[in-house]
Amino acid sequence: MILFIDVPRLNYTRLLPVVVSWCFNNLPMARGWESKAVEEQISAREDAAKTPPRMALAPIELQRRAKRESLLLARTRTLNALESARDERYRVQLEQALVHLDSELGQIDQS
């Protein structure tokens, strides 16, 4: 009498990534790597200590800088739209918006 035993097959597709990641995670690291990283952190901290502390800006100055950055972004977006615009009326509208943004930027730069 012959008995057939159902043996579960190993699923190598699930096992292979585990084995590969274990092999790569347990490779020896180059000597001195950790000390170099610590040395870089120490030098970065020393460089930060050497730079003079930045003065806190007044709320009005912060608002002016935020407005200027917003206008510069809008100007860049308008220029990109102008490059790809095909309709003449839309191009005229974008050119007028560009003139307006430039005048706003000029007013902010003067103040």
Positive or negative: CA dihedral 106, 109, 110, 111: positive
Q: Is residue 90 part of a domain?
A: yes
Tell me, yes or no, whether 80 lies in a domain: yes
Token look-up 């100055």 returns 61
Which residue ranges in the chain fall short of pLDDT 70?
Answer: 1-16, 18-35
pLDDT of residue 66: 93
How much is the pLDDT for 15? 62
Helix-helix angle 88-110:59-84, to 10 degrees:
160
Q: How many domains does the chain have?
A: 1
Range of the domain at 97: 59-110
**Does residue 94 sit within a domain?**
yes
Note whether residue 40 is domain-resident: no
pLDDT value at position 19? 65
pLDDT for position 6: 55
The answer to whether position 10 is within a domain reads: no
Full-prediction pTM beyond 0.75? no
pLDDT at 58: 85
CB 67 within 8 A of CB 48: no
In a domain, 105, yes or no: yes
pLDDT in the model for residue 56: 78
Assess if residue 77 is contained within a domain: yes
| Cα separation, 46 vs 13, whole angstroms | 50
Asked if the structure places residue 99 within a domain, the reply is yes
